[in-house]
Amino acid sequence: MSNSIVQKLLDLTDKVAIVTGAAAGIGRATALLLAHAGANVAVADLDLEGAKKVAAEVKALGRRALAIEADVARAADVKTMVETTVQKLGGVDILVNNAGIYPVKPALELEEAEWDQVQDINVKGTFLCSQAAAREMVKQGRGGKIVNLASIDGVYPLLVGFAHYDASKAAVIAFTKSLAKELAPHKINVNAVAPGIVDTPGLRRLLSPWALTPAL
């Protein structure tokens, strides 16, 4: 989609967005779409080199960009991510909680630590980032937008080997609904999108023919 078409549909000129997990896949695509619409973008990811490449792509579109190394499951990293964005880009108007993991493993073989890791990144990470960004949005007093990446699996599980992931995305959906009510008085909209299977580099690495067997 061309820059001009996106701007006609969505004008985000001079808005500041943070996109987590933005070094590749849906996160990268989201960061670039926001840039096409006029936003300046903080590209956050554990993969700093990947984030730098995406930030360069954003800058090539004529926008300001930052590459920030951040583990969304760590409160200190999230605090730094938001503070750095405010200091260097001038605020936070949009947060896209995209960072997430989806390791494939049957529930009967899943270790406690593996369960915890998925919940920490997918659920706690969404909470920590939303909390930190929303606090700044409230302080700014101009409202804001928070978009959480859920999944169709959070409503209707499609694949086997994803019980831990499906549970995390169901939690994201419930969290989104609750937070939307809480932040509405501050003119902060909170929504979730629930993609189905998307062809991304991460999915190609992790999905095996066995994992593609439909759930009964």
Give the C-alpha separation, 133 to 194, whole Å: 21
Q: What pLDDT is recorded for position 44?
A: 98
Tell me what the mean pLDDT of segment 163-183 comes to. Answer: 98
Give pLDDT, residue 9.
76
Q: How confident is the model at residue 159 (pLDDT cuts 50, 70, 90)?
A: confident
Among the listed residues 102, 162, 165, 175, the single catalytic one is 165
Cβ–Cβ under 8 Å, residues 34 and 41 = yes
* Domain residue extents for the chain: 3-206
Residue written as token pair 């299977």? 197
**C-alpha distances out from residue 184 to 5, 144, 178, 204, 216, Å:** 30, 10, 10, 38, 39
The vertex-37 CA angle with 46 and 73, nearest 5°, equals 20
Convert the pLDDT of each residue in 198-213 to its tens digit.
Answer: 555 555 455 544 444 4
For tokens 């549909």, the residue is: 9
- Asked if 145 contacts 189 with a C-beta cutoff of 8 angstroms, the reply is yes
| Residue 17: closest CA among 47, 49, 76, 61 | 61
Of the candidate CATH numbers 1.10.150.530, 1.10.150.120, 3.40.50.2300, 3.40.50.720, the domain formed by 3-206 belongs to 3.40.50.720
117 and 68 Cβ atoms separated by less than 8 Å: no
Average pLDDT over the chain reads 91
Quote the crossing angle between the two packed helices 25-36 and 48-60, to the nearest 10°: 20
Find out whether 195 and 152 touch, Cβ atoms under 8 Å: yes
Q: Is 165 a catalytic residue?
A: yes
**Range of lowest pLDDT (4-13, 38-47, 126-135):** 4-13
pLDDT in tens, 53-66: 999 999 999 999 99
- Structure confidence at residue 212 (pLDDT): 42
190/197 Cα distance (integer angstroms): 23
Interval 161-172: pLDDT, tens: 999 999 999 999
From CA 192, how far away is CA 97, in angstroms rounded? 9
Torsion sign (Cα): 62, 2, 18, 13 = positive
Only one residue has tokens 């792509």, namely 57
